[in-house]
Structure 1
């Protein structure tokens, strides 16, 4: 499959911008000095890449593995890079009293919000990627039973109903993502202002 078919033109542009942003950010910002900004940046990049991979036109196995890989890489970068520098804020949630550093409420809220978003992204990537791989596995299974042919009119009605429901769910998901991104952005702005 040719690379031009994987993404639409605007998706290639977004992917290019994300890669450039990662390189520029990695060269200019110290994670130890700006761990919360790095965590927010990681969440935004992971959400953008998740959307791009989900829309990518490629084989199911490749898509499933890439989405699962995104979840693993996001989680690893967060745990080994960002979480290490905000562990006192995170320990207040999990093991109160173990860290002797005073953590301002804004840092506590931001650190835990980023931690939750990374966890959500990891679960989403594992679920979606695993489902895509399971669909491929089901198609290639030797014991799969074929369904009896259905009336084409029934299938058309069913497909229209599914398409309508997917459109509604997509709109709701976009609203939730936009809201989560807005809240994360406000928290980061609040922390650094």
Structure 2
């Protein structure tokens, strides 16, 4: 039983570390690209990482902890005094919403029926974006800061619908292309050395800090 708990923890840290690495590398680079491009490429990868975490651990609850690990890695940017806190907190909120929405739609993502899989990905891709808009709306009411995403109905529509649908299509392509290949199933059943998970976690934090 103790070994199983250690293995579960190792996998949670591993997948959370992978997500953190994605944010620190690809996510950082994408921020230099036009918003439509940067806003569509990360989530398909994130949703697939979370799905694989579920298949590897066999636990939906583990997805929330994978998200917390990735958020913890991102929060290390708060240690940088020259970086505005909002630059770190806003992505952390988005990551939390992504974890939560994928947790909710996992039964649909597991389905072999194309309609259910497509529905699950669409709900996830649009849902977390609606949550982000709601967060910015509340933030505006409290602080008076008007996010770019709220400056016009066009901005809101682009972020939720245009970016969301393109992102969903990319995620569907990834799922259809590689979800059921044999190597993925083999990876799901592999035992993870906790030291490897710890190393991935540490590397993700280092990259998150040094990229600035």
TM-score interval (norm. to shorter): 0.3 to 0.5
Larger Rg: 1
Structure with the largest fraction of helix: 2
TM-score (norm 2): 0.31
TM-score (norm 1): 0.34
